[in-house]
Amino acid sequence: MSVLVGADTKLLVQGMTGKEGTFHTLRNRAYGTDVVAGVTPGKGGQDVEGIPVFDTVAEAVDATGANTSMIFVGPRFAAEAILEAADARIGLVVCITEGIAARDMAEVHAYLEGTATTLVGPNCPGVISPGLANVGIIPGEVCAPGRVGFVSRSGTLVYQIVYELTSRGIGQSTCIGMGGDPVHGIGFIESLALFEGDPDTELMIMTGEIGGDDEERAASYIAERVAKPVVAYIAGFEAPVGKRMGHAGAIVTGSTGTAAAKAEALESVGVQVARTPSQVARLVADRLTG
C-alpha cells in the first residue's frame, strides 16, 4: 500500500503551462502518474502533449475526475490556487511553490480546517509512492518500492537519504516532503499517523531541522500513539543561534529549537537519532534486520 498518492491518483497541475510546470508534469507522467489535466486561466482548450488545459480547477475536476492537484503557480497567486483546489473538493493539494507570504499561508491554513482537503507544502518537493505515483519534484529514479515510510522538512535530505536507502536494497512505501516554511500543511504528526495506519509500512523515518517545535511535538505523539519503530535525523547541530539556515522556519532563538534539544526529545521516547544523513540508512538497516 501507500499513503496520500498511489494507483488511484488522478492528477491535475495548476500552472502546468509554465516552464517548470510543464517540465515536472511530463516527468511525473513519464514515471507513471495518471496526469489528467492542467489548469491555467485563459488557456482553456489548449493541451500540453495531449494533457488538456482548463481555465478553472472546477472545470478540470468535472471533466476528468481529478482528485489531486500539484501547484506551480507563482507565490503571489499560489495561496488563491490552493483555495480554488479546496473549493473544487480536491482531496490532496501538493504546493511546490516557494516564497508564499506567511500571512497568506495562515489564511489558507485556517480555511482548510473546514474542508476535506489535505495540503502538502508549500515550498516542498512533493510526495512519491515508489512504483505507483510521483506528485512533485522528487527524482523517481532514486526511489524503490518497499516498507519504509519517510517524512522530511528538507527536500534535499529526501533525495540523499532515499538514494542511500535504495542503494542498500531498502525500499520505501511513501516519501513525503512536507516543506520547511513556518506555516505549512501536513506535518510530522499527520504523516506518522498515516504510516502507523498503513499495514505495509514497517518502519518510519523523519528528518527535521532547527527551528520551531515540530520535532518535539512529534516526539510526544510518538510516545503516545506510535508502535512502529522510528529513526530520525535533525539537520543543524552546528548551526549558530539567531542565524537562519536554509528554510524560513530554520532559525534558533535562545535555547529552543536546537538540533540537540530536538534529538534529546526524540531519543527520550525511543527514537534512534542519526548524527549524519549517511547514518540514517545504517540505522534503518540494523532495525529491519535486528
* Closest to 180 (Cα-Cα) out of 113, 83, 100: 100
Classify the C-alpha dihedral 58-61-66-67 as positive or negative.
Answer: positive
The stretch 206-221 carries a mean pLDDT of 93
| DSSP secondary structure letters along 168-228 | TT--EEEEEE----SS-SS-HHHHHHHHHT-TT--EEEEEEESSSSHHHHHHHHHHHH--S
Same domain, 147 and 106: no
pLDDT of 258-285, one tens digit each?
888 999 999 999 999 999 999 999 999 9
pLDDT tens string 157-194? 999 999 999 999 999 999 999 998 999 999 999 999 99
Kindly indicate the confidence band of residue 248, based on its pLDDT and cuts at 50, 70 and 90.
very low
Domain that holds residue 182: 138-289
* pLDDT single digits (tens) 68-96: 999 999 999 999 999 999 999 999 999 99
| Three cell numbers written together for 45 | 482548450
Q: For the domain that residue 205 is a member of, what is the CATH number?
A: 3.40.50.261
Is the domain of 147 the same as that of 115? no
Per-residue pLDDT tens for 2-56? 999 999 999 999 999 999 999 999 999 999 999 999 999 999 999 999 999 999 9
60, 92, 120 — which closes off a domain?
Answer: 120
pLDDT at 118 over 50: yes
Q: Is residue 127 part of a domain?
A: no
Domain contains 279: yes
Report if residue 4 sits inside a domain.
no
Same domain, 65 and 99: yes
Query: 257 and 172, same structural domain?
Result: yes
User: Do 111 and 179 sit in the same domain of this protein?
Assistant: no
What CATH number corresponds to the domain at position 37? 3.40.50.720
Question: CA 110: distance to chain centroid?
Answer: 19
pLDDT digits (tens, 9 = 90+) for 119-155: 999 999 999 999 999 999 999 999 999 999 999 999 9
Return the pLDDT at 242.
56
Number of domains forming the structure of the chain: 2
How far apart (Å, rounded) are the C-alpha atoms in residues 46 and 221?
Answer: 47
The set of catalytic residues is 247
Residue 127 one-letter amino acid: V
Question: Quick check: is 33 in a domain?
Answer: yes
For residue 243, pLDDT beyond 60 = no
Of the pLDDT bands very low, low, confident and very high (cuts 50, 70, 90), residue 290 is confident
**Final residue of a domain: which of 120, 152, 172?**
120
Q: Which of 88, 120, 152 is the last residue of a domain?
A: 120
* Within-domain flag for 128: no
Same domain, 81 and 189: no
- For the entire predicted model, the pTM comes to 0.94
Same domain, residue pair 63 and 187: no
For residue 2, tell me if it sits in a domain: no
User: What's the pLDDT score for residue 255?
Assistant: 52
**Same domain assignment for residues 75 and 203:** no
| pLDDT value at residue 91 | 98
Domain match, 146 and 280 both: yes
Let me know whether 108 and 177 are in one domain.
no
If asked whether residues 55 and 198 sit together in one domain, one would say no
Residue 133 counted as domain residue: no
Any domain includes 129: no
In terms of domains, do 112 and 166 share one?
A: no
